[in-house]
Structure 1
Amino acid sequence: MTQQTVASFFRPALDAVPNYKPGKQPAVVPGMTPYKLSSNELHLPPLPEVLEAMADIPNPAGYPDPTASALIAGLSEYLDVPNDHITVGAGASEIISALARVTTEAGTETVYPWPSFELYPQTAALNGGVSRPVALTDTHEHDLSAMADAVTDSTRLIIVCSPNNPTGTSIKHGAFEAFMERVPSDVLVVIDEAYWEFCTDPHALDGLTAAKTYDNVVLVRTFSKAHGLAGIRVGYAVAQPHVIAALRKAILPFSVSQLSQNVAVASLQQVDVVQARSKSVAAARDEFVAELRLQGWDVPYPQANFVWLPLGDLASRFEDACIDQALAVRKLTGGVRISMGAPEAIQRVLQVTEGFRHSHYSTI
């Protein structure tokens, strides 16, 4: 069988689908402790209650609760929304992919900010739709006016990310309300709030309030980041019942294992501790940004558990400088994203940024 014959099995839309590139592992450097700061993982140890739930492994021969009833009940109480306004999936990524499947097909368009989460163009293209990325502003924020301008009669889905990955900037509440006044009611707006627990901006958009207010808004959150459960794969969506009903058709049955459900419930029961830990990460983040600015870096003020270093064409060189110091950071379009890590990891990063700036100051 020839390669050409095999290729004919696949949909033409696959040609436009970019590959998702996960964060790199740190290099092994003799005498140095490696630190992975490339995937926005929580560097704090798991909560004891989470470890206890993980130790109680359900019978692997049995299917998980297909309705995730205990988890949805816990989320309903926590979020103060009815059960039929909530669904869960294997991380926010599965939910966003499912939202694309229920809205996007050939001839339709998806509008999203760029740079932002790399899944957005992937899911739009995989469903045969057309991507309409809208560049961020000079201050690395969503250009909501330009995003509204990009909406056409073919637009079915808009995705916003607050705080934005990778720049960390948040959408302001008033700006979002003005944006929604321009969005047609037959366009679904997704608010990706994967990092909302780290946000300390009092003027930032509250996605939960928006999901309760607008019939065409879906809030997507995750247990991966602040809860420190990225390996467990649990995310959730909040929207009006007609949206949730459609979304449940596209999420794979049993995609959230029983162990994952049980662990998420245990973590949700410790949500006050989770939020307190998130604010401690945010405080360390703000100190990190202050140190970078003292060195002369013009970095945006982030609201997530990472910092964006705008480097332009020097991003690859900076990544290499980090590799030499057993640090893994994430090189993306126009810069490098540095996840918050242990204090000693951040101190090592600051040594790299200081040396790099002295070596390349004339081009930054």
Structure 2
Amino acid sequence: MTSRRPAYRLSANENPYPPLPSVQKILSSEAALVNRYPDRFATRLTESIAARHDVPPEHIATGAGSVGVLHHLLHAALRDGGEVVHAWPSFEAYPHLTEMCGGVSVPVPLRDHRHDLAAMADALSDRTKVVIVCNPNNPTGTVTSAAALNRFLERVPDDVLVVLDEAYREFVTEPGAPDGIEYHRDRPRLAVLRTFSKAYGLAGLRVGYAVAHEPVAARIRAASVPFGVNALAHTAAVVSLEAEDELMARVAELTAERQRVTDRLRATGLGIPDSQANFLWLPLGDRTAAFADACADAGVSVWTLDGEGARVTVGEPEANDIVVRVLSGLPGA
């Protein structure tokens, strides 16, 4: 059945707000210059990110979103093959990119919607080249505690590269949650991924980055496609980093809406894990398909994992309310 209502896309974890006003203003003027190639080395952006995180510019590698940077990282790490250990379900690009780069994906099941870091450590072998920790995890929104992460890192061999994928870090409100940038400072074999697609609302421009010690960052840059960050993305990201007050006000609105929707969905009786991202995980099991179909009929798209659950982006309040109504009317609610 095709809905005639306005379509709300709550399946892609996009920011429901348009780019920040200061970013929109600069994009209007910069658009007239796109007949020129961008800075191949994304110099201003690299320097801005380095200043923002108080790290050397040599620790930064940029690319087309954090997934683009991850692709370059895996291309560099898996040139001679090898395994990539990651949680599952987690970001669906991990196994895909691993296979594209000639590696073998080693998924480790979540435990209570969270990374089972002890099991992930057990899954490491002499063939492991990279282990990825998605924190907060996509699609469940859960965070790994600092204590658990510390124990895990102590077990990872020195020749394995640890990647902390922190695409949703700006939405984290849980006290004491680990900050990958701080973790990387004294860990030469740890790389952190961040993006401007989520909190900054620049998903359509495709710009992200890695923070890692110089040998790792240099290998990522060497494996990167030239001009990987286009001119508009470069400028928009630089201006976004300068608009901290605007950004945090927007993030506060989204996290408040996240809590409102969480409370209403839990009132239906469904056990929803605490999310520290801009989406919620609904563990619906065999009701997942029926829920997704009902949402589509009501004009809302959601992301699903067959037989396990649905991930729903925190979007416009009216879209979120439709999701609540659909879940409330679902058999078994």
TM over 0.5: same fold?
A: yes
- Cα 1:263–1:84 shift into 2, 3 Å: same
CA-to-partner distance for each residue in 1:36-87, whole Å, 9 max, x for gaps? 1110000023211111111122533322111111111111111111110111
Equivalent of 2:116, from 123, 143, 149? Answer: 143
User: What TM-score does the superposition give when structure 2 sets the normalisation length?
Assistant: 0.96
Aligned to 2:209: 236
Partner of 1:224: 197
Matching residue of 1:283 = 256
Q: Are positions 1:179 and 2:179 aligned together?
A: no
Using a 3 Å threshold, how does the CA distance of structure 1 residues 152 and 58 change in structure 2: closer, same or farther? farther
User: 2:44 aligns to what?
Assistant: 70
* 1:80 matches 2:54: yes
Q: Which one has the largest radius of gyration? A: 1
Cα RMSD after superposing both structures: 1.3
User: Distance between the aligned counterparts of 1:282 and 1:60, measured in 2?
Assistant: 35
Matching residue within 287, 293, 302 for 1:320: 293
DSSP 3-state at the match of 1:329: strand
| Superposition pairs of residues 156-167 of structure 1, within 5 angstroms | 156-167=129-140
Give the equivalent residue in structure 2 for 1:103: 77
Contact residue 106 and residue 130 of structure 1 kept, 8 A: no
Q: How many residues are matched?
A: 331
Q: Give the letter aligned to residue 252 of structure 1.
A: V
- Say which SS state the counterpart of residue 347 (structure 1) adopts: helix
Equivalent residue, structure 1, for 2:332: 360
Q: CA deviation at 1:128?
A: 2.0
Q: Which residue of 2 aligns with 1:94?
A: 68
Residue in 2 aligned with 1:247?
220
Deviations 1:197-233 (A, max 9, x none): 0110112121111111211100000000000000011
Opposite residue 142 of structure 1, the aligned amino acid is: H
Q: Give the drift of 1:33.
A: 2.6
Letter matched to residue 332 of structure 2: H
Q: Distance in 1 between matches of 2:54 and 2:32?
A: 29
AA in 2 matched with 1:126: M
Structure 2 partner of 1:341: 315
Deviations 1:136-161 (A, max 9, x none): 00x20000000000000110000110
1:351 Cα deviation after fit: 0.5
Matched-pair identity in %: 45
Gaps of 5+ in 2: none
Q: Distance in 2 between matches of 1:28 and 1:231?
A: 26
Query: Following superposition, which runs of at least 4 residues in structure 1 exceed 2 angstroms of deviation?
Result: 27-30, 58-62
| Structure 2 Cα separation of the partners of residues 60 and 204 of structure 1 | 40
- Segments of 5+ residues of structure 1 without an aligned counterpart are 1-26
Query: Any idea what the Cα deviations from partners look like across 1:267-319, whole Å, max 9, x if unmatched?
Result: 11102321221122111111111111111010100000000001122211111
